[in-house]
Structure 1
Amino acid sequence: MNGGVRVGGGVRGFGELEVVVMDRLWDREGTSTVREVFEDLRQAREIAYTTVMSTMDNLHRKGWLSRKKQGKAFLYWPALTREQYGAQLMRDALDAGGNPSLVLSHFLEQMSEEEAATLRRLAAQEEAG
């Protein structure tokens, strides 16, 4: 996978429809066409095919979606997993939040015991190589 989608020095969040499209694509296995995402979305909302097509094209131009041509259509898939996207957002927050040590300290204060235990386990694994 790619090392991270960076826009203007940081991860750029999604617009409202972009979030919905990315969620649909993350929930799918493999690739999807605009038509498949459109059919899925129109079950829950009134939306135009061209709106979905433009949104997916924009997400591709921003680096969030990869695509390849198949016949007359494109097959799309997320450039990052949902978890990699979350990690990029966390990295961005750490970079933008002022003193990284204080940001991390405040973050740790907000963690549950289970989350803190997971973090300790992952840190130990990372240290062990």
Structure 2
Amino acid sequence: MADAPTDITLHQKSKVLEVVFEDGATYNLPLEYLRVYSPSAEVRGHGGPMQLVTGKKDVGVDKIEPVGNYAVQLHFDDGHNTGIFSWQTLRDMGEQYEANWNDYIKRLEDAGASRDKLWH
């Protein structure tokens, strides 16, 4: 299990969660990235393929709650709040950001979908 971050800072204006670990690793994780790669069953596909989450370019976080000594729960302003981000998940998401983000953009393009919220 990964060590707990020494600091987690939510930057509302830039919509980034900054996560700093004791070994000096620092990750600036866009909230959109955290939302579309949420470790929730809703996003991870309930055992099936990972769901493509669209229209989250401007998603924010209203609240961050600690979960024991091992994770945080992010309350996104679109109502999603079921993902538990363990310390290991946050580290993995930081380390894999570039590959994950490029995969997300490709999946959006393949689906003809957008990062922008569609208004009806």
TM-score normalised over the length of structure 2: 0.24
* Higher share in strand: 2
Larger Rg: 1
